[in-house]
Structure 1
Amino acid sequence: MTTPTETDDPTLRLQRLEQRLAELESVRAIEALASRYHTLCDGGWAGPSHADVDALADLWLPDGVYSINAARPPCRGREEIREQFVRLRSSMPWILHTFTNSEIDVDGDRATGTFKGIAYYRRDGGSHVVVGSYAGRFVRTGEGWRFASWVADLAHGSVLTPPTAEER
């Protein structure tokens, strides 16, 4: 007599499908979190960039870490993260992000992931582009997925247009 395989057992097949669906839903929710971060950062054409610093800071765990500049210490905790967005509002008054090539590994209520990113921004009268990647650690909370850490690794940046003499 043969024993049924996992593919023959409808209960096991259903459990496997439910696990795969839960993982796919988590991946999509983490991609939506990264997208929300970028959307909340972007602005300058119809209002300020980083307009809702409280909503941005709330994307992190209370003790989360945020680092977008390797030359500066990372921001730790929502208050420091919030203050970083206040600074970015004035230092980058116009910014637009895109992200792509997400790679996310989910392990229950925790996940890690990397995303490629491009940001176009204006600073000191010049237009710039920067490319790189973000590495994140994520935790599922009662309010949904949140950043435990979000660290940018900027690979390259260029000035697209230098400031004019009047802007300098």
Structure 2
Amino acid sequence: MTTTLEGPAEELATESAVLGHRVREFSELAVLRRQVRELTDRAAISELIDRYVVLLDTQDENGFDESWPRTVFTEDVRLHFPIGTHEGLAGVAEFHLAAKQKFDRTLHLSANHAVRLDGDRAQVRFHLIATHVHHDGGVPLFDIGGHYTGEAVRTAAGWRFREWGFHLTWASGPGPDGEPVM
């Protein structure tokens, strides 16, 4: 004997099936939104890394530019480099310029961007190889390799680095003072 639902019971079963389908759609949509947000955040942080690395070579092409650090760092940034440390956004452009002026020109390349997201914060690491051309063209190049690590945070202006440091792994050729670094 086959039982069929009729009347209110049939309507209830249909509404239940529709509701179950809508709940699954809502759940899938929520998952997709989280995935899109994560991919968007990762792309924005990778673009931030690229912007910083390009600025290492181009920041003062048209004369000293004290505004570029705002496109990369937070107001309370803390920098840690083999050449020294710096805290706060004020003076960051000068800090970078002092290092860069020791050379005629530079070329920085980054790779292996690793981003670990945690809401509005992210731990960032990437590898960097850089060539530095001395003012005296006859001197060998100064090449370095290492990695950057730091914390990026979401701000009203987009992702910015709050904590940022370079860790030197190797160096080749004479450093800024003409002596080997390692």
Same fold (TM over 0.5): yes
Q: How do 1:17-96 and structure 2 match up within 5 A?
A: 17-43=32-58, 48=61, 52-69=65-82, 72=84, 74-96=85-107
Offset, 1:53: 3.8
Offset, 1:30: 0.7
Q: What does residue 120 of structure 1 align with?
A: 131
Whether contact under 8 Å (2:65, 2:93) holds in the other structure is no
The structure richer in strand per residue is 1
Bigger Cα displacement from structure 2, 107-116 vs 56-65 = 56-65
Relative to structure 1, the CA distance from residue 83 to residue 22 in structure 2 (aligned partners, 3 Å threshold; closer, same or farther) is same
- Greater gyration radius: 2
Offset, 1:56: 2.8
Question: In 2, Cα distance between the equivalents of 1:130 and 1:49?
Answer: 26
Question: In 2, Cα distance between the equivalents of 1:151 and 1:57?
Answer: 17
Bigger Cα displacement from structure 2, 86-95 vs 150-159 = 86-95
Question: In 2, Cα distance between the equivalents of 1:55 and 1:89?
Answer: 15
Q: What does residue 30 of structure 2 align with?
A: 15
Whether contact under 8 Å (1:49, 1:93) holds in the other structure is no
Alignment equivalent of 1:138, drawn from 152, 156, 170 = 152
Count the aligned residue pairs: 151
Q: Give ranges in structure 2 of 5+ residues lacking alignment.
A: 1-19, 175-182
Q: What's the Cα RMSD here?
A: 2.6
Relative to structure 1, the CA distance from residue 42 to residue 49 in structure 2 (aligned partners, 3 Å threshold; closer, same or farther) is farther
TM-score (normalised: structure 2): 0.74
The structure richer in helix per residue is 2
Q: Give ranges in structure 1 of 5+ residues lacking alignment.
A: 161-168
Bigger Cα displacement from structure 2, 94-103 vs 52-61 = 52-61
Question: In 2, Cα distance between the equivalents of 1:84 and 1:25?
Answer: 31
Is residue 109 from structure 1 mapped to residue 120 from structure 2 by the alignment?
A: yes
Is residue 98 from structure 1 mapped to residue 109 from structure 2 by the alignment?
A: yes
Offset, 1:89: 3.4
Offset, 1:38: 1.1
Offset, 1:79: 1.5
Question: In 1, Cα distance between the equivalents of 2:97 and 2:158?
Answer: 24
Q: Percent identity?
A: 26
